[in-house]
């Protein structure tokens, strides 16, 4: 992989991760005002919602850069084999 392509991929991936983090922060699961905050069942559901939120947004943030990195590696390797 050439140095220029690697840097472009890193910068675009960082911008993508920042955009996903911004969306994740703005859609963070909140406790409704009509639910008791000390109820263990409510806390368990809220914890599960937050865990799923983090895992889902982490996958969204990491999957496209990983696929792009692998694609660039494959295409760069294919170009190196040509005479």
Alpha carbon of 42 to those of 17, 36, 60: distances in Å?
A: 30, 7, 27
Close Cβ partners of 12 (under 8 Å, ≥ 6 residues apart) = 65, 68
Alpha-carbon 51 to chain mean position: 14
DSSP-assigned letter for residue 35: S
Report the number of distinct structural domains present in the chain: 1
Range of the domain at 12: 3-81
Distances (CA, A) of 71 to 6, 9, 79: 12, 11, 12
> How do residues 57-76 score in pLDDT, each as one tens digit?
999 999 999 998 888 888 87
What average pLDDT score do residues 25-32 get? 93
* Residue 78 pLDDT: 62
pLDDT score recorded for residue 4: 84
**Mean pLDDT, the chain, whole residue set:** 88
pTM for the model stands at 0.78
Whether 12 shows a pLDDT value over 90: the answer reads: yes
């Amino acid at each position: 992989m050439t140095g220029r392509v690697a840097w472009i991929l890193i910068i675009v991936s960082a911008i993508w991760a920042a955009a996903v983090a911004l969306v994740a922060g703005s859609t963070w699961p909140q406790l409704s005002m009509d639910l008791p905050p000390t109820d263990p069942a409510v806390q368990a559901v809220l914890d599960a919602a937050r865990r799923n939120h983090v895992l889902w947004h982490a996958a969204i943030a990491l999957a496209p850069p990983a696929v792009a990195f692998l694609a660039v590696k494959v295409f760069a390797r294919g170009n190196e084999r040509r005479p």
